[in-house]
Structure 1
Amino acid sequence: MSDKKLNPRKSVVAMVAIALVLSKFAPVYGQTQDYPTEEQGEKFQAIGNAAPNHWPDWRGPTGDGRSDATNLPLNWSEAENIVWKTHIHDLGHSTPVVWDDQVWLTTATEDGRTLYAVCIDLNTGEIVHDFEVFHPNQPQRIHLQNSYATPSAVVEEGRAYVHFGTFGTACLNSETGKVLWRRTDLNCDHMQGPVSSPVLFDDLVIVHLEGTDVQFIAALDKKTGGTIWRTDRPQELYENVEPLFLRKAYHTPVIVEVYGKAQLVGNGARVAMGHDPRTGKELWRVVYGDDNTISRIVSGHGLFFVNTGGTPDSVRLWAVRQDGAGDVTNSHVVWEVNDNVPVESSPVLVGDLLYMVSDNGILTCLQAKNGKRVWRERLAGRYGASLLYADNRIYAFSKQGKTTVIEPGRTFRRLAVNELDGEFWASPAVAGKSLLLRTKTHLYRVQSK
């Protein structure tokens, strides 16, 4: 095991810069409308299938925390199954993303005045790039539990896209580390800091900014950074809402295939909506009136599973039929659960069962089609990282550095509990037969030996 140290002020380039000739490869990542039943097994098809070393979005190629990887590690510790461990300077909660042999993440000084992009070699753990992307003069304040580098990057062939909310969005040449374009004019008052990550679709980079002052989604041209479309959230739902924090959200939208057509589905303060990702046109909405949404929507069985946000004791999970148009609040909500629904962590759907872990560690298994509880179990610790399904296992990562591994099914069966030094605030990534796990201070590559 190696422990690499980062130089926070220098970009270390591991290979000679070469001229890139990019193909028109434009991946579309997201969820499909239908999932197999338990009896049919756990194979699934994404809108765009990814190679073994592609984890381009913070919840993977399908955008919902599912992977078809096999032979992943079941057990690990600081002394077991650690391929490498690399120190990450400063502070960031962004999830690592992967393309081929590159791992990208972001970090920032704790005062928010310097925002970095970092690239790590998947094979060695060595630093390939580490450089400042933005230098805000007067950063907004953030929540004590947030960081200035919480939004995760997204990656594709030859490009990495980093986003720091109101502080800036940039496109990087992943080979050379050169910044190809920057935007610093997409602004909002986050009040408690940025969280929402960008999304790739065709030739677009889509960002969601929902603050106390403005709330909108914007699609940028991948090549130039220019705005292709911008759609503001329905202002009649936000006007005169007090206190101001009820207007903000931290949600990352997701691309979902619904009856053969792509939708951009996202929920924020007050309302969840579906849009045409090519134009930003609103397709449907469901109004719930809460704020602070973080947990990402997942979908299956003709349903969207929507976290309404709110305070920890008032969060609800709604199942919304996918065949709606216009305001479907009173017609398409199939079921609602308000017991032990997480504020932060995103759920995972495996066959006919939906799993979620609350902030205080209540792991719940629901029947996806009707919301009825199958079982629930208390896990040690507090949770913010999203659940991962891979290798017929579900992994849950606590803020105390422990990972509980269970077997999915109608009875609770714990397979392992593993512990690393530090705290898990980022979600996991999968690369081949490895897990990439980020604590507050290090990035680990974990793989069975």
Structure 2
Amino acid sequence: MSFTFRFQLSTLAFAAALAAQPATTPVFWPDKNGPTFDGVVPVAEAEKLPLKWNSETGENIVWKVDLEDDGHSSPVIGGDRIWFTSATTDGKKQFVYGIDRHTGKVVHHELVFENAEPEGLGNPLNNYAAPSPVLEADALYVHFGTYGTARIDPLTGKKVWERRDINARHYRGPGSSPIIHQDLLILTFDGIDQQYVTALNKKTGETVWKTNRTTDYGDLDAEGHPTREGDMRKAYHTPSVFDLGGVQTLVSVGSRAAFGYAVDTGKELWTIRHGGFNAAIRPLIYQKVLILNTGSERAHTIGVKIDEQMKGDITESHVLWDREKRNASEACPVLVNGLLFQITRGGIVTCMNPLTGEDVWEERLSGQHLPSPIAAGDRLYFSNDRGDTRVLDAGPAFKILAENVLPDAMTAAPAVAEGALFIRTKKQLFKIAQH
């Protein structure tokens, strides 16, 4: 196995840094979709979150801090720190922020990678810091797609190891976030030239396995080369690991197909063919149904039967329902009270039965909706590109509980710690709590 990676600390210094990190450091929000990877706020926290706030009057605004550069990455929170990434507009410099969650003080603003000639985005929606980091008590993992991946020491904000040799042409910029499973850091690369999933040893950065997509894209010439360059092979998906029929399975949606992989080895277990591309929505499970989204343009939401027979091509045998219209493209759905809630980029919010795919209700909210919502008890928090966050009742009837305003667009999902919301807008980070 050939690979290149670089330790930024000596072995002794690295061990000392880990030893200095308190073993009891709480990790409140380790992933862009929270501690259970599904946007659901823990019950004890949900009861404390504010219903209303207003930046003009200062209602429930504890602090705000100005931010530099661009970034879609959602905050993660552990101990006293809030972490997320940013990048210059041209993509030549990429950073990690570490902000004190009590005061809003910028503790770390570290340059992670420099890029001499980054590939153009080709998409006004994206930027060079779209993937969100993931966090453990003793490590922060930041990922910028083809531009690099690094383990960061939360005590110092400095790199422990980095990989810059895991590459693909994103064409419109990176978007897939990393996930942690036991000792693995799992990365997804669905570019226009290469499509694969790979797992690294999270402690050393060494490659453990790499699995290429086996998708039939249907666009090859007689010599096996793609007949056109474009979006049709591309995706932005962040996977999840589930126990499916007794097998620990990495569920990963790419362009034209979704896959189940044995998480420890990367072995492909099953596939489902679909017609979408640009898949970005994280999978969910409700009872014995796996819920998948196929992409952006004309995306479908599908329900897949979970059993011990998930092997090979299960497109015909296991798809229970297929919702063809008005499906989310960027914002991840949430499951609450036995109902599935999702919102399209254009603001059509739908309440669905996850067992059948049937609509319960459908309404429209104003603005463009890129951030994933969060669910807190019986409340749903939906944010948009106008600075609005609407709080809806998570029930079988459409009801707006509150409408809140911040001064700028939101593309990152909110994070939660000790009864406070942390919302990243285009230019600022806010702490919002009842006070």
**TM-score, normalised relative to structure 2:** 0.90
- Residue 355 of structure 1 corresponds to 341
8 Å contact 1:72–1:391 — kept in the other structure?
Answer: no
What is the rounded CA distance, in whole Å, between the counterparts of 1:326 and 1:345 in structure 2? 29
Name the stretch that deviates more: 199-208 or 234-243: 234-243
* Aligned positions of 1:263-282 closer than 5 A: 263-282=249-268
**Is structure 2 residue 61 aligned with structure 1 residue 77?**
no
Q: Please, which of 187, 199, 202 is the counterpart of residue 222 of structure 1? A: 202
Taking only aligned residues, the RMSD between alpha carbons, in angstroms, comes to 1.9
Quickly say closer, same or farther: Cα 1:317–1:173, change in 2 above 3 A. Answer: same
Unpaired segments ≥5 residues, structure 2? 1-14, 221-225
Quickly say closer, same or farther: Cα 1:367–1:187, change in 2 above 3 A. Answer: same
Quickly say closer, same or farther: Cα 1:257–1:66, change in 2 above 3 A. Answer: farther
Quickly say closer, same or farther: Cα 1:87–1:214, change in 2 above 3 A. Answer: same
Which letter does structure 2 place at the counterpart of 1:99? Answer: G
- Residue 20 of structure 1 corresponds to 18
- Residue 99 of structure 2 corresponds to 120
Residue 429 of structure 1: how far off its partner (Å):
1.0
Quickly say closer, same or farther: Cα 1:202–1:379, change in 2 above 3 A. Answer: same
**Is structure 2 residue 388 aligned with structure 1 residue 402?**
yes
Residue 67 of structure 1: how far off its partner (Å):
1.4
Which letter does structure 1 place at the counterpart of 2:96? Answer: A
Quickly say closer, same or farther: Cα 1:51–1:375, change in 2 above 3 A. Answer: farther
Quickly say closer, same or farther: Cα 1:356–1:51, change in 2 above 3 A. Answer: farther
**Is structure 2 residue 36 aligned with structure 1 residue 62?**
yes
**Is structure 2 residue 65 aligned with structure 1 residue 91?**
no
What is the rounded CA distance, in whole Å, between the counterparts of 2:89 and 2:279 in structure 1? 24
What is the rounded CA distance, in whole Å, between the counterparts of 1:219 and 1:404 in structure 2? 38
C-alpha deviations, 1:121-147, integer Å up to 9, x for none?
111111111111100111011111111
Unpaired segments ≥5 residues, structure 1? 1-16, 26-49
How many residues of Structure 1 are paired with residues of Structure 2 in the alignment?
407
- Residue 116 of structure 2 corresponds to 137
What is the rounded CA distance, in whole Å, between the counterparts of 2:152 and 2:98 in structure 1? 11
* Aligned positions of 1:226-375 closer than 5 A: 226-237=206-217, 240=220, 242-259=228-245, 261-311=247-297, 314-323=298-307, 324-375=310-361
8 Å contact 2:27–2:136 — kept in the other structure?
Answer: no
Quickly say closer, same or farther: Cα 1:104–1:218, change in 2 above 3 A. Answer: same
What is the rounded CA distance, in whole Å, between the counterparts of 1:274 and 1:437 in structure 2? 33
8 Å contact 1:63–1:255 — kept in the other structure?
Answer: no
Q: Please, which of 148, 160, 164 is the counterpart of residue 168 of structure 1? A: 148
8 Å contact 2:178–2:186 — kept in the other structure?
Answer: yes
What is the rounded CA distance, in whole Å, between the counterparts of 2:381 and 2:130 in structure 1? 21
What is the rounded CA distance, in whole Å, between the counterparts of 2:79 and 2:377 in structure 1? 20
8 Å contact 1:84–1:125 — kept in the other structure?
Answer: yes
* Aligned positions of 1:393-432 closer than 5 A: 393-432=379-418
What is the rounded CA distance, in whole Å, between the counterparts of 2:138 and 2:421 in structure 1? 23
Residue 23 of structure 1: how far off its partner (Å):
9.0
Q: Secondary structure of 1:425's partner?
A: coil
Q: Secondary structure of 1:246's partner?
A: helix
